[in-house]
Amino acid sequence: MSDVLISPSILSADFAALGQAVADVDRAGADMIHVDVMDGHYVPNITIGPAVVKALRPHSAKPFDVHLMIAPADPYLEAFVEAGADYLSIHPDASPHTHRSLQTIRALGAKPGLVLNPGTPLSVVEPVIDLLDMILVMSVNPGFGGQSFIDSQLVKIEALRVMIDATGRDIVLEVDGGVNPETAPRCIAAGASALVAGSAVFKGAGSLSDNIAALRSAPAVNASAAA
């Protein structure tokens, strides 16, 4: 389980000290920094914009994994790449031309990602999989941290793992929502290669490094037990 990437979500950090929070999880062993961008329109919450991402960028050299929960997304792609996004993930229903949006992200110099909500079908991935560097499976409905894991998404993760392996490409398969030491091994058994964790990292019982380590070292489960 040591190969799994851990991407702490700063949505659960202290917003009065975000720069310090980013630096702290970097030192604690995070592989990426997950940045949730919400607009109060696509999801019922408002978080941060590109100016804040730019301000946070000097606090870590780790990849910034920026998840746009905004609609429309296209007018803001360039601003978030310029602010420091390394991975930039969009929802297919937040852009009228998903293929073009993913092409634009790559042309801007970032790695394109596609996000699947619990109700989003796998069929949206097939036409654009060759453009993707990341597929993000939401195991909660987007908008707020601290929600409970939706078990049905494990089947989706398994199916995506088969699709990704068939391409022969190294596409990150990330899971976000309700990830903790209990659900993490189930996600990994299903085929996830990266885990987003907010509450489990920033509000867990241990230190940041202990909480990250707990996600990496959670007892493995058999793939058949993942669902």
Give me the active site residues, please.
36, 176
Question: Does 36 belong to an annotated binding site?
Answer: yes
Question: Does 207 belong to an annotated binding site?
Answer: no
Question: Does 34 belong to an annotated binding site?
Answer: yes
Question: Does 29 belong to an annotated binding site?
Answer: no
Question: Does 144 belong to an annotated binding site?
Answer: yes
As a whole number of Å, the end-to-end CA separation of the chain is: 18
**Nearest residue to 43 (alpha-carbon basis) of 176, 114, 149, 142:** 142
Give the type of residue at 108.
L
Question: Does 168 belong to an annotated binding site?
Answer: no
Residue 193: φ, ψ to 5°: -115, -5
For 197-220, b/e burial (b = at least 16 CB within 10 A) is bbbbbbebeeebeebbbbbbebee
Question: Does 176 belong to an annotated binding site?
Answer: yes
Question: Which residues make up each annotated binding site?
Answer: 9, 34, 36, 67, 143-146, 176-178, 198-199
Residues flagged as binding site for a divalent metal cation: 34, 36, 67, 176
**Numbered residues of the known binding site for substrate:** 9, 67, 143-146, 176-178, 198-199
